[in-house]
């Protein structure tokens, strides 16, 4: 299950960022996922799911953003639970 939110972003900001309007949703999801992972608010698996990326692509995103990996047994168990809920 997912929830849909909408936010208003001034056109000037979008132009400044250089995002295509058609890519805005995907770009924001990736940026939020990397940010929340870096702040330890989401596990790797949860952040990857938010970003809608494969493991490899999410690792690449984190590498580009210079976000260090942190992955412990608690996060592994959370990811395992998430995987089980999705299957």
pTM here? 0.73
- What domain range includes position 19? 11-86
Alpha carbon dihedral 49, 52, 54, 55, in 10-degree steps, equals -40
With respect to residue 78, please indicate whether it lies within any of the assigned structural domains. Answer: yes
Number of domains in the chain: 1
Count CB atoms within 10 A of the CB of residue 74.
Answer: 9
Q: Does 34 fall in a domain?
A: yes
Q: What is the pLDDT of residues 58-82, one digit of tens each?
A: 999 999 999 988 777 887 788 788 8
Name, in order, each residue with C-beta under 8 angstroms of 26's C-beta and a sequence gap of 6 or more. Answer: 52
51 pLDDT above the threshold of 90: yes
């Amino acid at each position: 299950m997912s929830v849909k939110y909408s936010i208003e972003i001034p056109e000037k900001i979008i132009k400044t960022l250089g995002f295509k309007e058609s890519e805005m949703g995907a770009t924001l999801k990736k940026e939020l996922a990397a940010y929340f992972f870096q702040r330890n608010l989401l596990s790797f698996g949860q952040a990857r799911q938010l970003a809608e990326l494969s493991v490899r692509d999410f690792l690449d995103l984190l590498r580009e953003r210079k976000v260090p990996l942190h992955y412990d047994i608690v996060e592994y168990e959370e990811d395992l639970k998430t995987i089980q809920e999705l299957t």
